[in-house]
Chain A
Amino acid sequence: MTAATARTRRRWWQRPPQRPDTSHQLQLGHHRATPYLFSLPSIILVAAVLGFPVLYGVWQSLYDRERLVSDPEFVGFANYIEMFQADTFWQSMGRTAIFVFGSLVVGTVLGLFFAFALFRVVEGLRFLRAVTVAPYIISNVAAAVMFRILFNSQFGLVNQFLGWFGIDGPSWLADPNMAMLVVIFTQVWTDLPLSILLLLGGLMTIDQSYLDASLVDGASGWTRARYITIPLLVPQLLISTVWLSYSTLTGLGVVLALTGGGPLRATQTLAMEMYTVAFRNLEFNQALAIATFILILNAVLTLAYVAIGRRYDYER
C-alpha cells in the first residue's frame, strides 16, 4: 500500500522503487533440480488430496447415473435444477440461515465480551489463555457428547440451574425450536477460541493514545468501546466473521453427532442434507451438486463480509 503510493508520488531526489525483497534468499549456487525435488512431494500430495478431488467433485456434479451400478451420463445442470426444485433443499437452506446467522451473532458477542475481559487481565493470562484455547484441542464429536450431557433434560446442569429459579427447563434436544439453539451454542463453543485470540490480538495493537484522548474528552467506558475500540477492531472482526461463517456453513461434525439433523429435520443444515443425500440415499452426484453449491455460497458470503468490512474499516 505505502510502496504503491510512494511510487506514484516519487520525485527525482527520492529513493528508486524497491525491487521484490529477496534478502532471505541464499546467494549460493545449488543444483538446478534441488528446489523442485524439495517442493514437488508437497505440491503433488496437496494436489492429490485437495485440489484434484474438489475439481473432480465439481465436474462429477454434472453427471448422473440411472442406478448405482450403471455408468454415469452427462446431464449438464440437471442435478442443480433438481436440487433447486426440492423442498428439502429449501428447508435446509432456511435451517442453515438460522444456524450461520445465530452462530455469527452469538460467536461475535461472546468473542468480544471475552476478549475485553482478557484484555484487562494483568496476571495469570497464561493460565486463562490455556483455558480459553481448550475447546480447540478436542474433536467435534467429543464436544457434542459433552453438550448432550450438559443440556440433558433430566440431569443436565443447564436445567438444574434453571430449576433453582423455578423454571422448568425444556427438553432441549427433543424440542425442534430448542435443538437449533443447542447446536448453535455447541458450534460456537468449538470455534470461539480463535475468535477470542484474534480479537484479543487486535485489542493489544490498538494505539493507546486514541483511548487516552477520549478519556480527556470525558468519554465513558461504553462510549469508548462503541465509538473507538470496536471500529478499530474491524479487521479482526472481519476475520473472525469469515472464520465463524465458514466453519458453520461447512461444519458437519457437531450437527451430525449432536442431533443428526433431527428432531423433525429442525437441524437439517445444508451440510447435513449433503451427507444425507450422499451416504443415506446414495445419490452421490446429487450430493456433489449440493457440495458445489455450498462452496460457491461460502465464497459469495466471504466476499460480502469483506465488502461490508471495508466500508467500516477506518484505517483504509
Chain B
Amino acid sequence: MTDRIVPDDPPLSVPTAKATRAVTGTPPEPPRTAGSRLRRALRTALLSLPLVALVVWTLAPFLVTLSVSFKHRAEVFADPGLIPSSPNFEAYREVLTSDSFTSSFLNSVIIGFGTTVLTLLIGVPAAYAFARFNFRGRHLLLLFTLLPRLVPSLGLMVPIYRLAVALGALDNRLTLIVVYTGMLLPLAVWLMVGFFQQIPKEIEEAANVDGASLWGRLRYIVAPLAAPAMITIGVLAFREAWNEFTLVLVLTTTPGKRTLPFELYLMQGIEGIANFPAEAAFTILTVLPFVLVYTRVEKYVVAGLISGSGK
C-alpha cells in the first residue's frame, strides 16, 4: 500500500494503445465513389449514435429541470414543451427571496469552505509524514487512516446522531465540518501519499543542504509541487460538503441550520401540491455554483473520481 506508485522504469518504450492503433490499425484509403461516401457518412452517423445517447442520458434531467424552472406554476401542465413559451424568472425570484434558500446557501458555503480548509490542513501533513518519514508504526497508522474509508455513511447515521445528541453538538456548523472532514480524510491521505512519493526526494535533500528547514522545504518546494493534488482534494472536499444528505439529515433539526440538499428535500413535502417551478429553480441554483467551478477544475474532479474508486 505504501510502496511507490510510479513504476521503477519509466515506460518510455512501451507503446500506448493509441499509438499502436495509429501504426497498425489504419486501413488504406479506399477509392472515393458516391456510394462509398454515402456509406461512410452512414457509418459515422451510426457510430456517433451511442454518443448522442450518452449526452441525452446525462443531460436530459438537467434540461427538463432547467425548462420547468422558467415556467409559471400553471404553465407546467398547460405547456409541457421543453422550451417554455413565455420564459420568466418568477420561480427564481420566489426561491431567492425565501429564508430557506438564503440561510441554507450561506450554511453550505461556510461548511463547504470549512471542510476544504480543514481537510487540507490535517490531511496534507499526515500524507507527507507517511510518504517521507520512516517511523515506528508507520504501516499500522496508515492502515488506521485508510481502512475506515470502507464505512458507508448509512452505518454512521444512528451512532453519530446519538453521539451528537450526547455531546450537544446538533445544529452546529462546526459539527458538520468536522464530520465531513473525517469522512474525506482517508481518501485525501491516500491520494496525497501517492502524489508525494512521486516528487523526487532529491529536490528536498538538496534544499536541506542549502540550509532550508523542514518548514521552508514544505512551504517553498513541496506545496508548489503538490498544488494539483491539493486542488483535487479541495474540490472533492467541497463537493462532499455541498452534496452530502444522509448525515445532515440527522445532524440538523431546526430551520436556518440546514444545508442546501436538506432544504431541497423538505421543499418537496411542504405544500400539498408540488410547486414544480420552485423545486426546479432551487435545484438549478443548488447545482449551478458547483457546475461553474466544475468547468474550471474538470480535470481534477475526474482524477479524484478515479482515485476514489480504490475502495
A residues touching B (Cβ–Cβ < 8 Å)?
20-28, 30, 32, 34-36, 38-39, 41-43, 45-51, 53-54, 56-57, 60, 110, 113-114, 116-118, 120-121, 126, 128-143, 145-150, 152, 154-157, 160, 189, 193-194, 197-198, 201, 204-209, 212, 239, 242-243, 246, 250-253, 256-257, 271, 274-275, 278-279, 284, 287-288, 291-292, 294-295, 298
Determine if B51 and A118 form an interchain contact, defined as CB atoms under 8 angstroms apart. Answer: yes
Q: Is the CB of A149 within 8 A of B305?
A: no
Closest A residue, CB atoms, query B5: A24
Point out the residues of chain B lying under 8 angstroms from A22, CB to CB: 134
Q: Which residues of B contact A56 (CB under 8 A)?
A: 159, 163
Beta-carbon nearest neighbor of B246 in chain A: A252
Beyond A57-B158, A131-B58, 16 additional pairs, beta carbon < 8 A: A24-B197, A25-B134, A25-B201, A27-B201, A34-B133, A38-B126, A41-B126, A53-B160, A54-B159, A114-B50, A121-B51, A139-B242, A139-B244, A142-B264, A256-B265, A291-B155
Residue from B62, B159, B197 in contact with A288 in the complex, judged by beta carbons closer than 8 Å: B159
Asked whether A212 lies within 8 Å of B25 as measured between CB atoms, the reply is: yes
In the complex, which residues 148-167 of chain B have their Cβ closer than 8 Å to any Cβ of chain A?
Answer: 148-149, 151-163
What's the Cα separation between A193 and B182 when bound, in Å? 24
A39 with B129, Cβ < 8 A, contacts A118-B51, A139-B242 known: yes
| B159 x A57 contact (CB < 8 A) | yes
Give the Cβ gap from A224 to chain B, nearest Cβ, in Å.
13
A201 to B302, CA, bound (A): 12
Q: Give the residues in chain B near A243, CB-CB below 8 Å.
A: 309, 311
- SS of A interface (majority): helix
Knowing A39-B126, A257-B245 are in contact, say whether A160-B80 is a contact too (CB < 8 A). Answer: yes
**CB pairs A–B below 8 angstroms (12 shown):** A24-B4, A47-B144, A54-B148, A134-B294, A137-B239, A137-B291, A138-B286, A154-B77, A155-B80, A209-B20, A246-B311, A291-B157
In the complex, are the beta carbons of B290 and A21 less than 8 A apart? Answer: no
Q: Which of B173-193 contact A (CB under 8 A)?
A: 178-179, 181-183, 185-186, 189
Residue among B53, B156, B265 with most chain A CB within 10 A = B265
- In this assembly, does B170 line the interface, its C-beta being within 8 Å of a C-beta of chain A? no
Which residues of the partner chain A approach B55 to less than 8 Å between Cβ atoms? Answer: 128, 131
- A27, A114, A145, A242: the one within 8 Å of B54 (CB): A114
Chain A nearest CB from B128 CB (Å) reads 6
Query: A41, B122: Cβ atoms under 8 Å?
Result: yes
Instruction: Judge if B141 is at the interface, Cβ distance under 8 Å.
Output: yes
| Separation of A28 and B185 alpha carbons in the complex (Å) | 27
CB within 8 Å of A: which of B274-311? 276, 279-280, 282-283, 286-287, 290-291, 294-295, 298, 301-302, 305-306, 308-309, 311
Q: Could you tell me if A25 and B133 are in contact, using CB atoms closer than 8 angstroms?
A: yes
A158 CB to nearest chain B CB (Å): 9
B residues near A48, Cβ cutoff 8 Å: 182
Decide if A189 touches B57 in the complex (CB within 8 Å): yes
Residues A128 and B61 in contact, CB atoms below 8 Å apart: no
